Amino acid sequence: MPSREKGSMSERPPDGRKCPLCGKPSDTRFRPFCSKRCADLDLAHWLRGDYAVPAREAPEGEEETEATAEDDKQQREN
């Protein structure tokens, strides 16, 4: 195994993790990505809304019930 010098520009993790965008070995400075470019591309995807957490739509009336219960709780505390 080659030795690593301190201060090397690109340190690779010993576990062999891959960049989730391009598949190259990840760099500890940009973990889990391999470079600033891949990290920035991932951020752009989030900011554009390309990634989304799936949500379940509440059945009719469920939202109102939750909001009313929260209002009741706040009124009792005052």
Task: State the DSSP string of 4-15.
Answer: --TT-S-PPPTT
Report if residue 65 sits inside a domain: no
Handedness of CA 35, 37, 43, 49 (dihedral sign): negative
pTM of the model: 0.51
Report if residue 44 sits inside a domain: yes
Q: Look at the chain and report how many structural domains it folds into.
A: 1
The pLDDT assigned to 3 comes to 47
Range of the domain at 47: 9-52
The pLDDT assigned to 69 comes to 62
Report if residue 67 sits inside a domain: no
Q: How far apart are CA 11 and CA 35, in angstroms?
A: 11
CATH number of the domain encompassing residue 37: 3.30.50.10
Residue 65 confidence class, pLDDT cut points 50, 70, 90? low
**17 vs 8, higher pLDDT:** 17
User: Using alpha carbons only, what angle is made at residue 13 by residues 53 and 43, rounded to the nearest 5 degrees?
Assistant: 30
Q: How far apart are CA 33 and CA 18, in angstroms?
A: 7
Report if residue 63 sits inside a domain: no
15-60 pLDDT, tens digit per residue, is: 689 999 999 999 999 999 999 999 999 999 999 999 888 888 877 7
Report if residue 68 sits inside a domain: no
User: Using alpha carbons only, what angle is made at residue 32 by residues 29 and 36, rounded to the nearest 5 degrees?
Assistant: 50
Report if residue 57 sits inside a domain: no
